[in-house]
Amino acid sequence: MQTPNTLQATPGQSSGAVRIGLNHGYAFDGDSVQLDAELLVSNADEAADQEWALQLWACEAPFDGQPVTAAKIAELPVGTLDAGSPAWVSAFTAARPPAGQAGHNMVLVLAAGRDGHFDQVLDYANFPRTETFVQPRLVGSTGFSVGETTISLSVDGIDNPRGADNLSGTLSLELWALDAPFRNGNPEGVQLVASTLGSLAGQSSWQSLALDLPLAARPAGTWHIALLLREWTAVGYVTRDFTNFALPLSWEAEAVATPIVEPVASAKPASKAKPAAKAAAPKAAAPAKAATVPTAVSVNKASEAELAAVKGLPKAVASAIIAARPFKTLDELVKVKGMGVKMLDKLKGSLSL
């Protein structure tokens, strides 16, 4: 059984039909990893009844089948297995190392499932050596301060420890308001500020960063705050390092003022005195019409016509959004064909989840 941040053997399931043999391993090459494994098939009928995949996980501790905090780095589907003899699997697949600078216990998992979803952990093999991933990182202390319309970020340094010839992808600093402290993967919350920094050469660093950035949102409630260092890759922005701040941040819901309309007496020229008459009750002023506030269009729920009506969003891109949804964050839209980073930055104010 798996969740985005937890690995656990599937209760009540037997791994006897297929097992990971003694010969297995992995090797990273940039944003890819090669997975190698000998798969021993002892029950061909049971093996042929499911689809199989190899997965590579980074765990906080060696895995023994019990729930452990972990991050899935890679998954390699291998289809059905219907032979009674060993099957050798060796191929490259996309890799997404976990964010941060901690060491990780690496685990090769044999998972089963159907229709491309592999959530049954039926066998696993721990690797004896911990892995620390070489990727852009935050150095020293970090901090932030909140003003009425801006947030100031301070970072002692950002370092790229990769080889001297390994230029990073575009790096971005982002401050997020989250329901819980950040652990890994794509953030799920409200982005408060973001700043695109550019690419950083290997064995190089930036020092003493101080940024004053416009506050994008003041979400009501109490939030955990995290500073993320993210890198642009072939699959969009990926979190490379992060800092969770100890103290939460709170905003109250902004009150909406109700306009009060006062009747205005009109001046009349003086006239001869006439007998007093009963004063007519003043007519009530017509209620003021509320201003129309444009609403953001949901990329997960809107029709193609509604998306295409958004200013600056081509119809072809609207069709691609429909085909690719659902999305967990607006940043995932950069994966949509025809949507670039600049277009997404211009459209963020008009789109929502």
For 297-352, give the CATH class: mainly alpha
Q: Are 7 and 57 in contact (CB under 8 A)?
A: yes
Q: pLDDT class for 101, splitting at 50, 70, 90? A: confident
Average pLDDT over residues 180-209: 93
Between 49 and 52, whose confidence is greater?
52
Q: Give percent of the chain above pLDDT 70.
A: 84
For 137-251, give the CATH class: mainly beta
Q: Check residue 110 and give its pLDDT.
A: 93
**Distance set, CA 5 to CA 60, 178, 186, 194 (Å):** 11, 16, 11, 25
SS3 letters for 57-120?
EEECCCCCCCCEEEEEEEEEEEECCCCCCCEEEEEEEECCCCCCCCCEEEEEEEEEEECCEEEE
Of the listed ranges 82-91, 101-110, 217-226, the least confidently predicted one is: 82-91
Q: Are 100 and 242 in contact (CB under 8 A)?
A: yes
Residue with tokens 């998992």: 109
Q: Check residue 53 and give its pLDDT.
A: 93
Between 212 and 300, whose confidence is greater?
212
Instruction: Please give the Cα distance from 63 to 69 (Å, whole number).
Output: 10
Average pLDDT over residues 344-350: 82
Average pLDDT over residues 306-318: 84
Is the peptide bond between 248 and the residue preceding it cis, with omega within 30 degrees of 0?
no
Average pLDDT over residues 315-329: 84
Q: Check residue 345 and give its pLDDT.
A: 81
Report which of 310, 312, 287, 313 is spatially closest to residue 297, judged by C-alpha positions.
Answer: 310
Between 145 and 65, whose confidence is greater?
145
Q: pLDDT class for 3, splitting at 50, 70, 90? A: low
Q: Are 116 and 104 in contact (CB under 8 A)?
A: no
Instruction: Please give the Cα distance from 183 to 204 (Å, whole number).
Output: 26
Q: Check residue 270 and give its pLDDT.
A: 45
Q: Check residue 241 and give its pLDDT.
A: 94
Q: pLDDT class for 109, splitting at 50, 70, 90? A: very high
Q: pLDDT class for 210, splitting at 50, 70, 90? A: very high
Q: Check residue 328 and give its pLDDT.
A: 82
Q: pLDDT class for 290, splitting at 50, 70, 90? A: very low
Between 38 and 44, whose confidence is greater?
38
Common-topology check for domains 2-131 and 137-251: yes
Q: Per-domain residue ranges for the chain?
A: 2-131, 137-251, 297-352
Q: Select the CATH number that applies to the domain covering 2-131 from these four: 3.40.50, 2.60.40, 1.10.3470, 3.30.200.
A: 2.60.40
Between 186 and 5, whose confidence is greater?
186
328 token code pair: 């967990």
User: Tens digits of per-residue pLDDT, 116-167?
Assistant: 889 889 899 999 999 988 999 999 999 999 998 999 999 999 999 999 999 9
Q: Is 29 helix (H, G, I), strand (E, B) or coil?
A: strand
Supply the DSSP symbol for 232.
Answer: E
Q: pLDDT class for 289, splitting at 50, 70, 90? A: very low
Residue 336 reports pLDDT greater than 70: yes
Q: Indicate the average pLDDT of the chain.
A: 83
**Distance set, CA 28 to CA 69, 94, 151 (Å):** 22, 10, 38
Report which of 158, 183, 162 is spatially closest to residue 172, judged by C-alpha positions.
Answer: 158
- pTM tops 0.75, yes or no: no
What is the residue type of 86? P
Supply the DSSP symbol for 319.
Answer: H
User: Tens digits of per-residue pLDDT, 239-259?
Assistant: 999 999 999 999 988 655 455
